[in-house]
Amino acid sequence: MRPGRALWIGVLLAPALATMLLFVVWPLLGAFADAFYSFRGLAPDRFAGLTNFQDVLFAEPWRSTALQALRHNLVVFATLLVAQNGLAFLIAFALLHALPLHRLHRVIVFLPVLLSAVIVGALWKLLLHPLFGAVNAALALLGIEGRPWLGDAQTALGSIMLANGWHWAGFPALLFLAAMQRIPREVFEAARMDGAGAFMILRQIVWPLVAQATTIIFTLTFIGSFNWFELPYLMAGLAGSPGGATDVLGLFFYRTAFGSVSSGLQDFGHGSALAVLMFVFLAASSAVALRFLRRREIEI
Amino acid sequence: MKRHTTTLRATIAATLFSLSTILPATAGELTFWTWRQEDRAAYTELFRDFTAANPGIKVNFEAFAPENYNTIASTALAGGKGGDVLQARAYGVLEQFAKTGYYRKLDQASVPELANLPAEALAAETLRADGAVYALPYASQTLGLFINKDVFEKAGLTPPTTWAELQSVGAALKAKGITPIANGTATAWMDEVFAGIFTAPMLGPDFVADILAGRATFEDKRFTGALAHLLELRDLMPQGYTGIDYPTSQQLFLSGRAAMFAGGSFEIANFRKQNPKLNMDFIAPVAMQQGQPRYVAKFFDGGYAVNAQSPNQEDAIKLVRYMGTKAYGDKFAALLGNISPIKGVEIADPLLAKVAQLNAVSIPYIMAVHFRFQSPTGSELLSAGLQKMFAGQATPEQVGADVTAGIATYFTPFQKKP
């Protein structure tokens, strides 16, 4: 490579690299360091060893809140993995069959993915509103009494997951569809000649042959579920209302580190400890899951 | 290659321009940081008066989103940047900034106008550890009951003064298809406000004194009993109240669909802006029995602090001194619809004057004033507990126990209690 070209490539890469180091790596290292300090006001004061980690994991009220938030993240992950991605898989399979208006359906399915979380949150909050919401109005037409979906501990988390599914199902559907389209037509034809029905084809042929897409979707769902913040924040507030029923680790971290407007204080030490624990958990779990899922991938 | 060089130059120029926007103001120019974008016009007028009295000092108004203000301000101040004068929050958050050394200490030698402020206002902007004042208080807030006078008049009813009247008036309003109380419980911090309003007359100053002295905890029957009374209000709140958030509650009141709204005096200016035709009143919460004092809960909202790292200390102090004068307080109250704590301030607005009168029979908004200094704050604990209680997931006794246990992690008088 000519030295001039190498220099030019270096110049082109430098801004991105500098941005990455400045805005991603440096804050990450900063958060990691802050986790080991006690704070005097808003500045690190004394080295505190593992105290912040001990507090977050074992001392009340952090422990109960962290456990509750983690439990909700697990529920969100399991639900989105099965319901949102299962639906996406079925949508992709339907779109694969080039049914009438399938191009239009493909656009419709993917359209919500293009919307920002702020719009989706506001839209669903309005739809689920106990007084003015379309959902309760529709139920009333059927003679069913509506409820405060986001204000009821039994339904609040499910309602936000529903909004999330509406927002994101198009993305895994598109990934599944792309993977399905890579399967040679002959495989389907051979299966049909052998008398396999649609369910058999789906289970025995399509599912194993889209394993690569499944790995990606699983990983993204896992990371997305444990970093879940925008929708619960927009639809249920920083406190995870009602009474913590929608509290997740992302909200708990933000509340702890930065405080809430009218009731909380900034606590960078415990917030950073929480962030480090979340990072380690996500990185380790993703690595193990990837290793396991890669084993079942089949090259076409 | 020439094109590449041009691109590089453009990038460097853009970067330098971006950096210039975060550099401090030049001499003769001050920046004022706030979380209240909606107050821009009023402050522009107030700063025009300041510049007229102090030729050569111009003040630039810069507002940031309220939910991110503390984070933005602390990040800027940590880097030696930020406004020269900043709107500072009170109590615990003030302490965090002051303790870190971000705000300059104010005393009567540098700001003689501190003498114009009552002790309880200065206490809200004082770091308890060194007893020094770090911001000049700008407003007190009172929690009470907003009344839509037109709705009451149309219904042929008068606003309630006792708990029994509240129930009977509420039933009468409901019978006419009007929601008696606009508040829902979906916004956690507003639940603390709601409880602060209706429980103040039940608790009174003796309870506050007992709590601070460690003679009582929040498990005390006076407190849990008051919370139990709040549950009686569920019938008067909007349908699906657990899913009704703060903005919806405001709109229900503003539109006349609800007759009353439990809120703070900080709503007055906003309500007038949103519905200039609104015929409203602000009254003290109801007493349990006729003749008993109807205490309102009161707190101080924040103050004006000087950035300790500001290169324009002298001018910044001049601005804060101006903000401590009666002339400023008079105009502040008139333009912003808030009660300035500066002694002798004249309040021309009749509604605001009434609020000031109600302050004569007040108790501190207890969690904000006394238990927002360490985590978990009393406000966080109480609002979470109240949401559960209103949703039927916790009893008043459980809420009292959880609040006490949370505060006991740092408030020693509670630790002595079994």
DSSP letters for A50-69 = THHHHHHHHSTTHHHHHHHH
- Range from A112-116, B1-5, B88-92 carrying the lowest mean pLDDT: B1-5
| Bridge partners, B30 (sequence order) | B59
Mean pLDDT in residue range B380-397: 94
Average predicted confidence (pLDDT) for chain B: 90
pLDDT at A75: 96
Both B308 and B290 in one domain: the answer is no
Given B353, B370, B397, the domain boundary residue is B353
B328 to chain A, any CB pair closer than 8 A? The answer is no
CA proximity to B263, closest of B377, B106, B148, B396: B148
Interface size A-B, in CB pairs within 8 Å, comes to: 147
**Predicted confidence (pLDDT) per residue in B268-297, tens digit:** 988 998 999 999 999 999 999 999 999 999
The chain A residues in contact with chain B (CB within 8 A) are 8, 11, 15, 40-43, 59-61, 128-131, 136, 146-153, 237-239, 241-244, 256, 258-267, 270
Would you say B148 and B253 are in contact if contact means Cβ atoms under 8 Å apart?
Answer: yes
**pLDDT band at residue B159 under the 50/70/90 scheme:** very high
- Please give the structure tokens belonging to residue B82: 């930020």
Both B133 and B83 in one domain: the answer is yes
CB contact under 8 A, A130 and B102: no
pLDDT at A300: 58
CB contact under 8 A, A131 and B394: no
pLDDT at A298: 64
How many helices, marked H, and strands, marked E, lie in chain B? 18, 11
Percentage of chain B modeled with pLDDT above 70: 93
Strand segments (E) across chain A: 37-40, 43-47
Peptide bond into A242 cis (omega under 30): yes
pLDDT at A299: 59
Domains in chain B, number: 2
CB contact under 8 A, A261 and B74: no
B185 to chain A, any CB pair closer than 8 A? The answer is yes
Q: Do the domain assignments include residue B209?
A: yes
Both B104 and B238 in one domain: the answer is no
B263 to chain A, any CB pair closer than 8 A? The answer is no
Q: Do the domain assignments include residue B211?
A: yes
Residues of A in contact with B393 (CB under 8 A): 153, 243
- Range from A99-108, A234-243, B21-30, B295-304 carrying the lowest mean pLDDT: B21-30
pLDDT at A46: 86
Q: Do the domain assignments include residue B98?
A: yes
Q: Do the domain assignments include residue B8?
A: no
Average predicted confidence (pLDDT) for chain A: 89
Both B274 and B400 in one domain: the answer is yes
Both B92 and B158 in one domain: the answer is no
Residue B20 pLDDT > 60: no
Both B260 and B403 in one domain: the answer is yes
Would you say B287 and B294 are in contact if contact means Cβ atoms under 8 Å apart?
Answer: yes
**pLDDT band at residue B132 under the 50/70/90 scheme:** very high
**pLDDT band at residue A218 under the 50/70/90 scheme:** very high
Both B29 and B96 in one domain: the answer is yes
CA proximity to A124, closest of A91, A144, A149: A149
Residues of A in contact with B11 (CB under 8 A): 15
Please give the Cα distance from B92 to B69 (Å, whole number): 15
Name residue, tokens 């802006």. Answer: B273
Residue B142 pLDDT > 50: yes
Both B221 and B170 in one domain: the answer is yes
Both B286 and B409 in one domain: the answer is yes
CA proximity to B230, closest of B399, B377, B366: B399
Helix (H, G, I), strand (E, B) or coil at A46: strand
pLDDT at B375: 85
Q: Domain residues for B287?
A: 142-298+361-415
Residues of B in contact with A129 (CB under 8 A): 243, 248
Measured from the Cβ of residue A248, the count of other Cβ atoms closer than 10 Å reads 28
CATH of the domain at B348: 3.40.190.10
- Range from A117-126, A187-196, B1-10, B240-249 carrying the lowest mean pLDDT: B1-10
pLDDT at A263: 66
B393 to chain A, any CB pair closer than 8 A? The answer is yes
Given B311, B327, B353, the domain boundary residue is B353
Residue B418 pLDDT > 80: no
**pLDDT band at residue B16 under the 50/70/90 scheme:** very low
**Predicted confidence (pLDDT) per residue in A155-201, tens digit:** 999 999 999 999 999 999 999 999 999 888 888 889 888 888 888 88
| Bridge partners, B85 (sequence order) | B32, B306
Residue B242 pLDDT > 80: yes
Residue B251 pLDDT > 60: yes
Mean pLDDT in residue range A1-15: 87
Please give the Cα distance from A207 to B16 (Å, whole number): 54
Q: Is B28 left (phi over 0), alpha (psi -120 to 50) or beta?
A: left
- Please give the structure tokens belonging to residue B225: 């009993």
**In Å, how far is A192's CA from the nearest CA of chain B?**
52
CA proximity to B146, closest of B260, B246, B274: B260
Mean pLDDT in residue range B227-243: 96
Residues of B in contact with A27 (CB under 8 A): none
**Predicted confidence (pLDDT) per residue in A237-289, tens digit:** 998 989 899 999 999 999 988 888 766 788 889 999 999 999 899 889 888 88
- Please give the structure tokens belonging to residue A247: 């509290």
Non-local CB neighbours of B392 within 8 Å, separated by 6+ positions: none
**Predicted confidence (pLDDT) per residue in A63-98, tens digit:** 899 999 999 999 999 999 999 999 999 999 888 887
Percentage of chain B modeled with pLDDT above 90: 84
- Please give the structure tokens belonging to residue A109: 């399915």
CA proximity to B346, closest of B375, B360, B326: B326
Given B308, B324, B353, the domain boundary residue is B353
Both B73 and B157 in one domain: the answer is no
CB contact under 8 A, A243 and B66: no
* Closest CB from B71, B240, B374 relative to A131: B240
pLDDT at B416: 65
**pLDDT band at residue B17 under the 50/70/90 scheme:** very low
CA proximity to A205, closest of A217, A187, A193, A189: A187
Q: Do the domain assignments include residue B150?
A: yes
Mean pLDDT in residue range B335-350: 91
Strand segments (E) across B149-295: 179-181, 258-264, 280-283
pLDDT at A233: 95
Non-local CB neighbours of B356 within 8 Å, separated by 6+ positions: B339, B347
Non-local CB neighbours of B54 within 8 Å, separated by 6+ positions: B315, B318, B322
Please give the Cα distance from B53 to B47 (Å, whole number): 10
Non-local CB neighbours of A187 within 8 Å, separated by 6+ positions: A205, A209
- Rounded to 5°, the CA angle A179-A180-A186 comes to 125
- Range from A23-32, B116-125, B274-283 carrying the lowest mean pLDDT: A23-32
- List of domains in chain A: 51-295 (1.10.3720.10)
Q: Is A101 left (phi over 0), alpha (psi -120 to 50) or beta?
A: left
Q: Do the domain assignments include residue B11?
A: no
Q: Do the domain assignments include residue B10?
A: no
pLDDT at A39: 83
Instruction: Specify the higher pLDDT residue, B6 or A232.
Output: A232
- Please give the structure tokens belonging to residue A241: 């209302």
Q: Do the domain assignments include residue B25?
A: yes
Residue A153 pLDDT > 80: yes
Please give the Cα distance from A193 to B190 (Å, whole number): 66
Both B164 and B292 in one domain: the answer is yes
CA proximity to B184, closest of B194, B175, B176: B194
Q: What ipTM is given for this predicted complex?
A: 0.82
Both B118 and B164 in one domain: the answer is no
Helix (H, G, I), strand (E, B) or coil at B143: strand
The model's pTM: 0.86
